[in-house]
Amino acid sequence: MDRVLVEKITPPTKSVGGVLLPETMTGKRANEAVVMAVGPGRRTVSGELVPLDVKSGDTVLLPEFGGEPVKMGEKEYHLFREDEILGIMPPE
């Protein structure tokens, strides 16, 4: 109910000019992902539905470990609880 399906952002390995980027440059985006789908929310003890703060299309910051890998066709996604998400990135 409070799950978020994300697709991790793959950092580029080459610059626009074709120069290979070192791993120290590409590692900074390794924990970012785009939200693909969200559940309806979680229920409180009294049964109230609390909607999620994230929505489809948001770019989020993820913990280094965690999430459940989900493979759909050729793509791999990850399923996280909303409280595992570290933050929502501002739009660029």
DSSP class of residue 90 equals P
Q: What is the pLDDT of residue 31?
A: 86
Q: What is the pLDDT of residue 40?
A: 92
Residue 35 burial (CB count, 10 A): 20
Residues 24-54 pLDDT 10s: 554 555 689 999 999 999 999 999 999 999 9
Residue type, position 30, single letter: A
DSSP class of residue 28 equals G
pLDDT of 91 over the 90 cut? no
Whole-model pTM: value is: 0.77
DSSP codes of every residue in 31-66: TEEEEEEE-S-EE-TT--EE--S--TT-EEE--SS-
For 14, the token pair is 């080459």
Domains (range + CATH), the chain: 3-88 (2.30.33.40)
